[in-house]
Each structure stands twice: as C-alpha cells, then as structure tokens.
C-alpha cells in the first residue's frame, strides 16, 4: 500500500519518524533530497554514537546506556557487485556514489543499514559522517573506534568526540597516535588502546592530556607512561613493572610531586607474576583499613567502552592506606597476586 509520506502535515511526518529506527531514517534520507530535509527537520535525538573506521569497513553504532551496542549503518568495501544493480546514493552535502543498500537483521528486533560500495575512500567516510550529523540531534558526546591501520588515513573532523578506542593486531606507534590525536578532539577524555603499543614517552605527547587511559597491551610503554601520567584514571592489562617503581610512584603521590588529579590506577601484571606488597610499601607510612575514615567498598567506574562498573573490597591484609602530606588526602593500595589497585578517596 503506497503512502505519500511527504504529503502529510509535518506533525504526522514527525510522528512517523518517531516510530522508526535510526537506520530506517538514514535509509529514508537517501531516498530523495526532500525526504532528507524532512528527516532533518524532525531531528530525532540519538543516544551515544560511535563512529567506526577500519580500512575496509566504516560503521556507526549506537550505545544505549549500559546495553550492548547496536549497529546502525555499515559501509563495506566490496568489489564484487556484479549481478546486483547499484543505485545512485547522495550523501553529505554534495557527494554522489553508487552502491547497494540493504538492510540486515542480526536479531529479531534489530535492523541495520548495510551499504556495499566499490570504493571506500576518505570522501565516502566524510560524506557519511556529514550526512548522519545533519540528520540527528546529538545528546551526548560521541565515540570513535579506529583500527590501528586506519590511523594514518584521511579522516573527517569528527566533532565532540570524548572517547577513542584504537584496536587491531598491528603495533601502534606512539608517534602515529600523537599525529592522529594532535589536530582535533579537544573534548577527548577517554582513550583505550587495544593493540600492542610502542615508542618513547615524552612530556609533549598528546596522550598525556587524556584524563582516562586504558592500555591493553602496554609493553614497555606502560611503566614510562605511568611515571608521567597527569590524568585521573589509568588502567593496564599485563603491565610489566617492578615493586620499586610502584614504591616510587606512591612516594611521589604522597609528597605531591605528581599525580595531583589522580583518582585510580588499576592493572594486572603478566599472569605468572606475584607482587610482594612489602616491597611496594617499603619505608612508606601506611595505615590499616579503618571504617571510620573511609568506606570498605568502592564502586569502580572504568569510564571505558567495554568495561562495566563493579564493586571492590578495600580492606584486609593486602590493603593499606597512605596519606598525601599537602592536603591530607587518603588513598588505598590494594595488591594481591598480580593485581594492583591505587584508589584516591574523595
């Protein structure tokens, strides 16, 4: 049954758009210039959006609260379009290309728009970004998920990005990361690197301006990044570090020689490692847990893409408190087997 949606009054159009999925609105906006204008006029609010950039796949996903992400749009680099007739697509301000638009249904209730293009270059990425940006009303800052091999690609100027996830199998060079972070992302608060990382840490690196950092495979970069860290939260997996270095770090914090903004450090060392807490707190003035001075449990917020919050018990034989001289601020050290926590209480 054909329905002349454009001939309905604006209020009816808006009501129809309200009942549609975001990916359907995107597809609808590709139907005609007038239709795109109507979708823009309705300006649906979107939850957190993540832009995904891989060498052969660009995508946009939605993150609703703590729920898993829903793919909204995916652009695939396909050269075997023979047999299916591509259609002309107008995206962004004036970009035209040809591609095959289909909808995929990964779950019963979820659809996403899948577009196959013969060429997936910087112009397409830019047009997709501009197009989506014009359609929706962003309510929260966006995230950016970049493959390590796409870091050096020409990318659009993604606005209001607060989280970046770099992932892949190749090694990320700190210099490449610095070049990538340098021109944009003034609102970046969280960076997660989920690939091996290599390079020399110096004070001029942009990564040191990020408040929350998570390195999954820090290698030798981890310990030196920790020594220069000025942000709030830092998390490592498989960090190679000695008890002496940790002792030095705690001393610096207690003497206000660094880490003024620090809220939490959490990491695990390689699986066969077992920390000796006595070496970590060697010659430090420590206190045991006292329930009158601070809570026993703390709800950890990793502020990262994949991590959900979980409560941790800051008491027992493997937990010690230290006090910062300058302002009397209290922090707890929790250390068992290969796990280390340093939590500053507010």
Cβ closer to other proteins: 96 or 157?
Answer: 96
For residues 24 and 209, which CB has a smaller minimum distance to other proteins in the complex?
24
**Nearer CB in complex with other proteins: 35/208:** 35
Q: Least distance in Å: CB of 14 to other proteins? A: 9
Question: Which two structure tokens, joined as six digits, stand for 26?
Answer: 């995107």
Helix (H, G, I), strand (E, B) or coil at 31: coil
Residue with smaller CB distance to other proteins, 12 or 248: 12
Round to whole Å and give the CA distance between 131 and 25: 11
**Residue 169 and residue 163: Cα distance in Å, rounded?**
20
Tell me the C-alpha distance between 210 and 231, whole Å. 6
22 vs 253, beta carbon nearer other proteins: 22
Q: What is the DSSP letter of 287?
A: B
Q: Would you say 99 or 218 has its CB closer to other proteins? A: 99
Give the tokens for residue 218.
Answer: 């820090």
Residue 162 in contact with residue 190, Cβ under 8 Å? yes
The nearest distance, CB 70 to other proteins, in angstroms, is 15
Task: For residues 251 and 64, give the distance between their C-alpha atoms in angstroms, rounded to a whole number.
Answer: 41
The least CB distance from residue 145 to other proteins, in Å, is 25
Residue 305 CB, shortest distance to other proteins, in Å, is 29
CB of 4 to other proteins, least distance (A): 5
Residues in contact with other proteins by the rule CB under 8 A: 1-9, 11-12, 15-21, 24, 27-28, 30-32, 34-35, 87, 89, 101-103, 105, 111
What is the DSSP secondary-structure string of 63-97? E-TTSPEEEEEEEEE-S--TTS--EEEEETTTEEE
First and final CA of the chain: distance in angstroms?
A: 62
């Amino acid at each position: 049954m054909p329905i002349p949606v454009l001939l309905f009054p604006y209020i009816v159009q808006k009501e129809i758009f309200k009942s549609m999925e975001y990916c359907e609105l995107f597809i609808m906006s590709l139907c005609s210039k007038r239709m795109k204008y109507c979708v823009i006029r309705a300006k649906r609010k979107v939850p957190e959006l993540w832009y995904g950039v891989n060498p052969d796949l660009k995508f946009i996903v939605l993150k609703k609260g703590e729920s898993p992400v829903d793919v909204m749009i995916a652009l695939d680099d396909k050269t075997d379009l023979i047999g299916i007739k591509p259609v002309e697509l107008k995206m962004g301000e004036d970009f035209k290309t040809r591609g095959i638009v289909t909808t995929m249904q990964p779950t019963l209730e979820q659809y996403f728009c899948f577009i196959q293009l013969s060429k997936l270059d910087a112009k397409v990425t830019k047009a997709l970004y501009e197009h989506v940006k014009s359609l929706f009303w962003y309510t929260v800052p966006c995230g950016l998920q970049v493959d390590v091999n796409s870091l050096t690609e020409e990318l659009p100027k993604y606005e209001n990005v607060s989280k970046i996830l770099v992932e892949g199998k190749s090694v990320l060079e700190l210099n490449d990361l610095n070049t990538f972070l340098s021109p944009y992302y003034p609102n970046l608060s969280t960076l997660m690197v989920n690939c091996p990382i290599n390079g020399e840490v110096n004070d001029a690196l942009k990564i040191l301006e990020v408040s929350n950092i998570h390195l999954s495979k820090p290698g030798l970069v981890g310990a030196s990044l920790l020594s220069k860290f000025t942000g709030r939260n830092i998390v490592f997996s498989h960090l190679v570090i000695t008890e002496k270095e940790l002792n030095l770090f705690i001393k610096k914090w207690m003497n206000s020689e660094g880490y003024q903004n620090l809220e939490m450090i959490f990491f695990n060392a390689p699986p066969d490692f077992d920390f000796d807490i006595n070496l970590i707190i060697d010659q430090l003035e420590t206190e045991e847990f006292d329930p009158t001075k601070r809570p026993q449990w703390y709800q950890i917020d990793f502020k990262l893409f994949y991590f959900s919050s979980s409560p941790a018990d800051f008491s027992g034989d493997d937990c010690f408190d230290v006090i910062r001289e300058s302002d009397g601020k209290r922090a707890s050290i929790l250390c068992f087997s290969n796990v280390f926590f340093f939590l500053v209480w507010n």
